[in-house]
Amino acid sequence: MTSSFSRRDLLRAGAAGGLGLAVVGTLESVAGPAMAQAAQTGAGKVAGYGPLIADKAGILALPKGFSYKIVAEAGKTLLESGEPTPSDTDGTGYFRSAKGGVLVNNHEIGGSEPYGVPPLKGLTYDPGARGGTTNIEVDRNGNRVREYVSLAGTVQNCAGGVTPWGTWLTCEETEQRANGTFQKDHGYVFEVDPFDREANENPVPLKFLGRYAHEAVAVDPRTNEIFLTEDADTPLGLYFRWTPPKHFRAGKGALRKLALGKGGDTAGELEAMTCYKGSKHIKDLSEATQPGTTYKVRWVEVPERDAKTTSVRKQFGDDKVTRSRKFEGQWWSDNGVYFTASYARHDDGSVNEHDGQVWFYDPRSETITLKSIWGVNPDPEADTDYDGPDNITASPYGGVIVAEDGVGVQHLVGVTDGGKSYPMARNDLNDNEFAGPVFSTDGKILFAGIQTPGHVIAITGPWGGRNDDHGHGHDGDHGNDHGHGNGHR
């Protein structure tokens, strides 16, 4: 994601300029508490777990019966090495262990944040960079056991995703070149093992996945193809697919071995998405305004993936690819990928304006379908509508949970399988974004972060008691035996 400051300034200016609520599609497919309450699920029932109850502690509002605990807090809880928990929690993966689980937690640190990831010996890619990941061990009830550095010396670790073999892919949302501060180029994906510290030593950038402003990844467990989002503008970002080489055998350490091998920088095939409606080329995903809109997907090879002279997205003409403003989080579920586009405005080159889209890519039919679209928020300072979907995770009880990164009041938003939205949590602490929603493997705990001041929170309650329009579970797989993960910025 781009900086919260620029994102929020832009949307505040848009709201002040009189942007009305663009109601597109069916009522139930447009996210917003007021609309969700108007959209009955049958027999007078409203989607979700009921209204949010203000938190006496002023941190997190939740529905009746739900509670939370703080697992980590930047600057206050301590790492195993003695330093404070780093700033700017972001994308997070959960991995089951014998005694509970491990959260691999991104820290989207660019340089000026108060608490950097300590550059521990053997775990640091670039001593000039302050971002990275920490691993947080928790017990079965979500209580913190310990936290330690698993990757250091990276920049703007925004989102990422879990792999079918039980590791976390963390993404740098930057195109930072080496300079007086940074000793190495940045804008890569790194693999982090949740359990094996030695596997994380001497970090290796997976250059075959490209160098650009990475947001999130999702991995097809059948083909081991990796899908990647880009959060960028001038021009707008792209959606990518990496296809492994024929000899590739997936597993822990396999990506690292591939990157270090002969021709590793260009191993496999990296392609950008281009979409069509019949013979009509779709230049921008904001062209879609109706849920259910489906486009045929084709893929175009990236000419020079390390972007040595030209940013990857600038290597294509608009007639060759399909762009979107702020491709954000994604999640493998239902035998495909759910991914978000955060917002669109005419002045950034978008065809239509909206405050968020949720798409589903089906790799077997090679199509993407618009599942939900959020109208332009008429009053971001009021607790009435949502804007800026970012991280996304599939719920074991059906539908998805989306982290809001917009303007004003911020929520974790549930979207049912039928497209109805409902509030799952509200940030009562400040107007900073939610990040990193992820369920424990048993579905009993929803972990999420408030990026600033840097809280990682465990939410428990009567999961599965939701009023739904399509039941309480996914027919397809929504994670893997090793863990769950999500992506963002």
Phi, then psi, of 488 in degrees rounded to 5 = -165, -160
Between the alpha carbon of residue 447 and those of residues 295, 396, 401, 412, 425, the distances in Å are 33, 14, 11, 11, 12
Q: Reply yes or no on whether the pLDDT at 472 is more than 60.
A: no
**Alpha-carbon span 429 to 450, nearest angstrom:** 9
Provide the number of structural domains found in the chain: 1
CATH number reported for the structural domain that contains residue 213 in this entry: 2.120.10.30
**Alpha-carbon span 397 to 463, nearest angstrom:** 7
Q: What is the pLDDT of residue 469?
A: 55
Q: Note whether residue 417 is domain-resident.
A: yes
Regarding predicted confidence, which is higher, 372 or 170? 170
User: Residue 269: which domain range?
Assistant: 4-484
Q: Reply yes or no on whether the pLDDT at 385 is more than 60.
A: yes
442 CB burial (10 A radius; 0-12, 13-18, 19+): exposed
Residue-wise pLDDT tens digits, 392-445: 999 999 999 999 999 899 999 998 888 788 999 999 999 999 999 999 999 999
Q: Note whether residue 197 is domain-resident.
A: yes
Per the DSSP assignment, residues forming a β-bridge with 46 are: 40
Q: Does residue 429 come out as left (phi exceeding 0), alpha (psi in the -120 to 50 range) or beta?
A: alpha
Q: Note whether residue 286 is domain-resident.
A: yes
**Alpha-carbon span 322 to 312, nearest angstrom:** 13
Residue-wise pLDDT tens digits, 324-349: 989 999 999 999 999 999 999 999 88
Choose among 153, 87, 92, 93: nearest CA to 122: 153
Q: Looking at residues 241-246, what average pLDDT do you find? A: 97
Q: What is the pLDDT of residue 485?
A: 53
Signed CA dihedral, 335, 233, 346, 270: sign only: negative
Annotate 52-70 with DSSP letters as a single string: EE--TTSSEEEETT-EEEE
Residue-wise pLDDT tens digits, 95-141: 999 999 999 999 999 988 999 999 999 999 999 999 999 999 999 99
Q: Note whether residue 298 is domain-resident.
A: yes
Q: Note whether residue 489 is domain-resident.
A: no
Q: Note whether residue 172 is domain-resident.
A: yes
